Structure 1
Amino acid sequence: MSMHFTVSELTRNLFHSLGLDHGRAPRPLNPEQNLLLECYLAGQIPDSAWSDYVFETPDLARHAEARRLSH
């Protein structure tokens, strides 16, 4: 017997918040998300607002971390 299931976005967010998704590569950002990332890295978005964006789109945090490590 095999079980098949789809991991929902809510579950993915839970894995992210628990730090269990480290091995996953970030998905490409759309142009709006990329602009948001650029604004955050330039200091134009406060951390409190950024955490709201990251909660909605965890890949933003992965891209931000990757950019920090590459510079």
Structure 2
Amino acid sequence: MSIHFTVSGLTRNLFHSLGLDHERAPRALDPEQSLLLECYLAGQIPESAWADYVFETPDLQRHVDIRRRHN
């Protein structure tokens, strides 16, 4: 029996075990998602609706967190 790991898999597991995986860079948003993000940050989207969007696309909240940290 043999066990095979990839370097990326081991790195991902290491980051996860150290609790650092939540800091991964979010993927780029498409134009529609960027507009949605801007509308949310401007207060035009209620929290309940935003929660639905984030459920479908978790990277949206990562972008919000990054923007708020830098402002």
The reply to whether TM is greater than 0.5 is yes
Structure 2: runs of 5+ lacking an equivalent: 6-18
1:55 maps to 55
**Aligned partners of 1:21 and 1:37: how far apart in 2?**
22
- Runs (4 or more) in structure 1 with deviation over 2 Å come to 1-4
Identity of aligned residues (%): 70
Structure 1: runs of 5+ lacking an equivalent: 5-18
Listed as ranges, the matches of 1:15-30 within 5 Å are 21-30=21-30
**Aligned partners of 1:2 and 1:47: how far apart in 2?**
45
Give 1:24 deviation, angstroms.
1.4
**Aligned partners of 1:59 and 1:35: how far apart in 2?**
14
Taking only aligned residues, the RMSD between alpha carbons, in angstroms, comes to: 1.9
2:3 maps to 2
Pair member with larger Rg: 2
The 1:21/1:52 distance shift into structure 2, 3 A limit, reads farther
Q: What secondary structure sits across from 1:28 in the alignment?
A: coil
Using the size of structure 1 for normalisation, the TM-score is 0.71
Residues paired across the two proteins, number: 57
Give 1:3 deviation, angstroms.
5.7
**Aligned partners of 2:35 and 2:66: how far apart in 1?**
16
